[in-house]
Structure formats: structure tokens, C-alpha cells
């Protein structure tokens, strides 16, 4: 399985930097059948969240697409595009951490990356965003489904979630899947 590395930027860091480390981790499991019920359950949770989000986006009127989100400078459309982009970004973070890449991201990095994304995608269309949501969701779902129990149990360090290592499954639940829920109310 190829990692989700398509020149995606995470807070200004090109994920292409993670390619060799991610491929090394994935090669440990090459040719092995995926027998993880946990990864299948997580992939199912992710799919349900993405399907619900996609339905909400499809129901956004053209007038609401450019409506500013409460307590955010971004529009509904930019938030929807941000979530679509976030499927790749959050899974790339997961893959990098599983590969042992040390990430020193701060909330300032994240907010700066979000502001840059908003500037670059201020004129995103609903049609293009829906296409990106579908494409990136399926790719991310396949990656989640392909995780093995030892990867889900692997202790990782992610400074945005505190200074103590935690199992990678927590990142899937709280960042990869959680990011969708975090923004679902923004587009309603």
C-alpha cells in the first residue's frame, strides 16, 4: 500500500519528506493479510464520519457556501475543503509518526497552515471540494483499514496531544476521525 504522500503540506511541512520512513514501516507488513478487527472498525467509523460530512456538504446551498463560519474567518466552503485536505494531512501525520518521524508541530504552526490553506483555497468550488472529499476519504479509509494491531498499539509522541507517548490508535480516533467531527458543526 502506498502512503498518502502527494505533496500534501502539514503546517508548512511537505509530507514528501516522510516518504522513505513511511515506506520502511509499511514494508514490515508487505504481503501479510490484514487481520485486525480494530483497524476495520476504525475504518468503518471513519467512513461513517466522512459519509455524514459529505452529505452535509452536498446539502449546502450556493448562498451558504460563501457564508463566514461563526467564530472563524473562513467560509463554509473553505472549511469543507479544509476537511477534505485534512484527510490526507492527518493520515500523513499518522504514517510519519508510525515511521518514527519526530514532529515538532505547535498550535501556531497548525493555525498558520490553516490560514495559508484558506488564502490559497478561498475560491474553492463546491463541485471540486466534493470530488476531493470523496477521493481523499477513500484513500485515507484504505490506509486506516490496512493498519495492523502492532501499529495501532505503537506508542507515538505528538506534541499537540501532550508530552506523553500514547498508542497510535488514539491519533486515528482523535485526529483522523475527530477532525471531521470538529468541523461538522461549522458547515451546518
Give the three-state DSSP class for 1.
coil
**Is the CB of residue 145 less than 8 Å from the CB of residue 43?**
yes
- Measured CA to CA, the distance from residue 167 to residue 170 in angstroms comes to 6
- Domain boundaries 35-187, CATH class: mainly alpha
- Measured CA to CA, the distance from residue 22 to residue 99 in angstroms comes to 5
Q: Evaluate if residue 79 carries a pLDDT over 80.
A: yes
pLDDT tens for 12-31 read: 444 444 444 445 444 455 55
| Total Cβ atoms within 10 A of residue 53 | 21
Where do the domains of the chain lie? Answer: 35-187
N- to C-terminal Cα distance for the chain? 35
pLDDT tens for 119-133 read: 999 999 999 999 999
pTM for the whole structure? 0.81
pLDDT tens for 155-188 read: 999 988 888 999 999 999 999 999 999 999 888 8
- pLDDT interval class at 71 (50, 70, 90): confident
DSSP state of 176: I
- Measured CA to CA, the distance from residue 62 to residue 180 in angstroms comes to 21
Range 106-117 average pLDDT? 93
Q: Evaluate if residue 6 carries a pLDDT over 50.
A: no
User: For residue 41, what pLDDT is reported?
Assistant: 96
* Strand-strand pairing, 13-14 and 9-10: antiparallel
Amino acid at each position: 500500500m502506498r502512503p498518502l504522500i502527494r505533496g500534501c503540506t502539514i503546517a508548512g511541512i511537505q509530507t514528501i519528506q516522510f516518504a522513505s520512513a513511511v515506506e520502511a514501516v509499511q514494508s514490515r507488513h508487505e504481503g501479510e493479510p490484514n487481520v485486525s478487527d480494530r483497524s476495520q472498525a476504525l475504518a468503518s467509523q471513519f467512513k461513517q464520519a466522512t459519509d455524514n460530512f459529505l452529505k452535509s456538504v452536498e446539502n449546502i446551498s450556493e448562498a451558504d457556501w460563501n457564508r463566514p463560519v461563526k467564530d472563524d474567518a473562513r467560509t463554509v466552503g473553505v472549511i469543507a475543503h479544509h476537511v477534505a485536505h485534512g484527510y490526507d494531512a492527518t493520515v500523513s501525520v499518522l504514517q510519519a509518526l508510525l515511521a518514527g518521524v519526530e514532529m515538532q508541530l505547535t498550535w501556531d504552526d497548525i493555525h498558520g497552515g490553516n490560514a495559508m490553506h484558506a488564502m490559497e483555497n478561498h475560491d474553492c468550488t463546491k463541485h471540486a471540494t466534493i470530488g476531493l472529499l470523496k477521493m481523499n476519504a477513500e484513500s485515507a479509509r484504505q490506509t486506516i483499514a490496512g493498519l495492523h494491531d502492532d501499529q495501532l498499539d505503537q506508542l507515538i509522541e505528538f506534541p499537540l496531544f501532550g508530552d506523553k507517548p500514547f498508542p497510535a490508535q488514539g491519533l486515528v480516533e482523535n485526529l483522523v476521525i475527530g477532525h471531521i467531527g470538529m468541523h461538522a458543526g461549522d458547515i451546518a
